[in-house]
Structure 1
Amino acid sequence: MLEAIGLDDEHTAVYRQILRVPSASVDELAAAAGMTPSLVRQIIEDLEGLGLLARQASAPDRVVGSPPSLALRPMLLERERRLTQAHEALVQLSELYRQGAAQRDAPDVVDVILGTDAVRQRFAQLQASAARQVRVFVLNEVAFLDASENEEEERALRRGVRYRVIVEKAVLERPGFIDAVRESAPHGEEVRVLPTLPTRLIIADDQVALLPMRSHGDERASGALLVHPSGLLDLVMAIFEEFWAVSTEFGSEGEMPGSHDGIDRDLLKLLLLGLTDAAAAAQLGISLRTVQRRVAELMETAGVTTRIQLGAEAVRRAWV
């Protein structure tokens, strides 16, 4: 709650507990907060240094909380002052950058980013700076950053940034893919699928794009190209929109009639996208025999005798 002034959850919990009582000892606070006495003792020293608590005059081994309006207000005002200064610096630096960008020659619309760490940093920065939408190509093999490490995407989705993501079909076989799609969909992420994609790509708003220097070969992750506003960026965005228009939607719209666990719709989508029964079973966390049984049941429900007919009927009935 008080991260903005530098207090983590543990410091906040101890401070809140101190405010609840007239005074408290280390052991009492440790028991109430579920922490070790040594940790609470260190937190008390930190809070005392910040002026958030004081020692009880009659019992120095006990502490009392300082009034929040008195102790926290100066800290908040100082933070606000620093944020104001940072904002003013941002405006000035942005104007300098704008003036410099206006003088760019044609070769200067592209920056070369060298080194894996530098590429990952730019990848995170683009998402952190996005205000409206992020557009992404996800290849099965080439990646700026592993999905489990991409914390900026979650933060961006929480603040309302829309994500439009096109993945290669092979990505559907990654463990947990469907669960990840289900979790992110309510927050504004749309996922579509194509058999293959030409390169990894991320576009932040309409301002900048990042793509690998090489899409194939041993050096594919060693560098990237950062494309600034220009005709080249317009072309990159237009290519994304062309791919988006012909890609296949992948999302979970809810349960199908007669489906009790929501698996049938996802199973149909995976099979229509070309996954084998075994790959679909692994993605859904069910057995191969269960996949085959569910497909047979769907064929019976649809009144068809072949899987091709099942696919056509599933589309006609809006099951997928």
Structure 2
Amino acid sequence: MLSDVLGLTPEEADTYRTLVSVASATPAGLAELVGCDVRRTVRILGRLEGRGLAARSLGDATRFVASPPASALRALLIQRQNQLNLAELELDSLDEIYRAATRGRGTVEVVEVIHGSEVIRERVGRIQLGARKEIMNLVKAPFFSSGNMTDGATIERGVRYRVVVERGTLDGQVPSFDEIIEARAAGEEVRIADAVPLKLFIVDSELAIVPLLGSASTAKAGALLVHESSLLDALIALFESEWEKATQFVTSAGALRNAPVIDDLGAQILSLLLTGLTDQAIATQLRTSLRTVQRRIRHLMDSVNVQNRMQLGFHTARLGWLEAGRDDTGEASRRNAPPPAAAEAAQ
């Protein structure tokens, strides 16, 4: 923490912690405690002394004592905060210069072409880290990454994250249902569509990445980076249209509204059923048996007194069972818990 926040190297932080824990120490004695070469320890002590974190003992100039952490570290912390404040002002200034420059872009400069799957992944990761307000994502195969659907740290900063997943990707088990649960627990809003027209990644309504058709595993993969323009406006409108048409998706019973009393597994089966997945695909995603899925669907139909699945879907839509906001209820506790289907998998 000292090295991350206050700019100390790991060696400097460890040496200071050790010096704080003793009344005083010679360079040789401190080197033995830290497990470091004496000459290296002498250089580290010199840097700590220069930062005001260490001083020579008044009674013996060959020994060193630690400066009081409350005063010495607070001074460093204030200095770092001042540096961050100045950096933020510089960032705002650069952002204004950038926006002024983009307004003068010509037609050719509105769109950049990115080549290579590794470059695309790096660029997506970079603009995602820089997101301030919202990320919008249309997901379909092939994928450029098999990792998590989103960056939890981005959402923790207050960035809204909306994603529409093409139903066919669930049939292929990428992303997996566990990944969707993890993303929902982090605060991501997920909807499922029969199909999406293209892969799309939009950040803060300022930048969009449109991967081009082709194999994502080859160096020939490419993508378009679209800056603010009427083309970007059209892509944003496309996402909003797909978002409105897509099926709401929940992963816990607590996210259902006006629904009969069911558990998380029942809510997940209902949600996947309404996206159009087959019973077998649902069973595969939830790692349970086909018999369990079919029995649970029959129980849902009986609970609302309908005769078939079409009526169940109509009943669900009419009563607004899935018309909830972010599905936060009960998700955090499920991250490390086994899937609810595990207890019924053998049935």
Does TM-score exceed 0.5, indicating one fold? yes
Taking structure 1 as the reference length, the TM-score comes to 0.76
**Kindly tell me: are residues 41 and 243 of structure 1, through their superposed partners in 2, closer, same or farther at Cα, counting changes over 3 Å?**
same
Paired with 1:254 and 1:63, the residues of 2 have a C-alpha distance of: 61
Paired with 2:235 and 2:142, the residues of 1 have a C-alpha distance of: 21
Code of the residue aligned with 2:228 in structure 1: it is: P
Are the equivalent residues in 2 in contact too, given 1:175–1:283 (CA < 8 A)? no
Provide the residue aligned with 2:120 in structure 1. Answer: 119
Are the equivalent residues in 2 in contact too, given 1:164–1:191 (CA < 8 A)? yes
User: The residue matched to 1:229 in structure 2 has which SS?
Assistant: coil
Across the two proteins, how many residue pairs are aligned to each other? Answer: 304
Are the equivalent residues in 2 in contact too, given 1:134–1:204 (CA < 8 A)? yes
Deviates more, 1:75-84 or 1:119-128: 75-84
User: The residue matched to 1:292 in structure 2 has which SS?
Assistant: helix
Deviates more, 1:157-166 or 1:4-13: 4-13
User: The residue matched to 2:164 in structure 1 has which SS?
Assistant: strand
Paired with 1:116 and 1:299, the residues of 2 have a C-alpha distance of: 46
User: The residue matched to 1:113 in structure 2 has which SS?
Assistant: strand
The answer to whether the aligner puts 1:41 opposite 2:44 as a matched pair is no
Provide the residue aligned with 2:5 in structure 1. Answer: 4
Spell out, residue by residue over 1:215-252, the C-alpha distance to the aligned partner (whole angstroms, 9 max, x if none): 23576962221111111111111111111111111124
Provide the residue aligned with 2:247 in structure 1. Answer: 248
Deviates more, 1:83-92 or 1:107-116: 83-92
Alignment of 1:90-169 (within 5 A): 90-143=91-144, 145-148=145-148, 153-169=151-167
The answer to whether the aligner puts 1:257 opposite 2:260 as a matched pair is yes
Paired with 1:175 and 1:234, the residues of 2 have a C-alpha distance of: 29
Are the equivalent residues in 2 in contact too, given 1:181–1:251 (CA < 8 A)? no
Provide the residue aligned with 1:239 in structure 2. Answer: 238
User: The residue matched to 1:240 in structure 2 has which SS?
Assistant: helix
User: The residue matched to 1:303 in structure 2 has which SS?
Assistant: coil
Paired with 2:96 and 2:304, the residues of 1 have a C-alpha distance of: 62
Spell out, residue by residue over 1:20-65, the C-alpha distance to the aligned partner (whole angstroms, 9 max, x if none): 67579xxxxxxxxxxxx99953599597554556799999xx9964
**Kindly tell me: are residues 58 and 310 of structure 1, through their superposed partners in 2, closer, same or farther at Cα, counting changes over 3 Å?**
farther
**Could you tell me the percent identity over the aligned residues?**
38
Paired with 2:174 and 2:215, the residues of 1 have a C-alpha distance of: 25
Paired with 2:311 and 2:206, the residues of 1 have a C-alpha distance of: 45
Paired with 2:10 and 2:193, the residues of 1 have a C-alpha distance of: 43
Paired with 1:72 and 1:50, the residues of 2 have a C-alpha distance of: 11
1:17 CA displacement: 7.8
1:71 CA displacement: 3.4
Paired with 1:79 and 1:295, the residues of 2 have a C-alpha distance of: 58
Provide the residue aligned with 2:294 in structure 1. Answer: 292
Taking structure 2 as the reference length, the TM-score comes to 0.71
Paired with 1:71 and 1:167, the residues of 2 have a C-alpha distance of: 52
> Any gaps of 5 or more consecutive residues in structure 1?
25-36
Code of the residue aligned with 2:146 in structure 1: it is: D
Are the equivalent residues in 1 in contact too, given 2:117–2:219 (CA < 8 A)? no
Code of the residue aligned with 1:155 in structure 2: it is: A
1:105 CA displacement: 1.4
Provide the residue aligned with 1:27 in structure 2. Answer: none
Match of 1:216 among 214, 218, 221: 214
Match of 1:311 among 310, 313, 317: 313
Match of 2:303 among 274, 290, 301: 301
Paired with 1:23 and 1:295, the residues of 2 have a C-alpha distance of: 72
Taking only aligned residues, the RMSD between alpha carbons, in angstroms, comes to 4.0
The answer to whether the aligner puts 1:281 opposite 2:279 as a matched pair is no
> Any gaps of 5 or more consecutive residues in structure 2?
26-30, 323-347
Deviates more, 1:164-173 or 1:9-18: 9-18
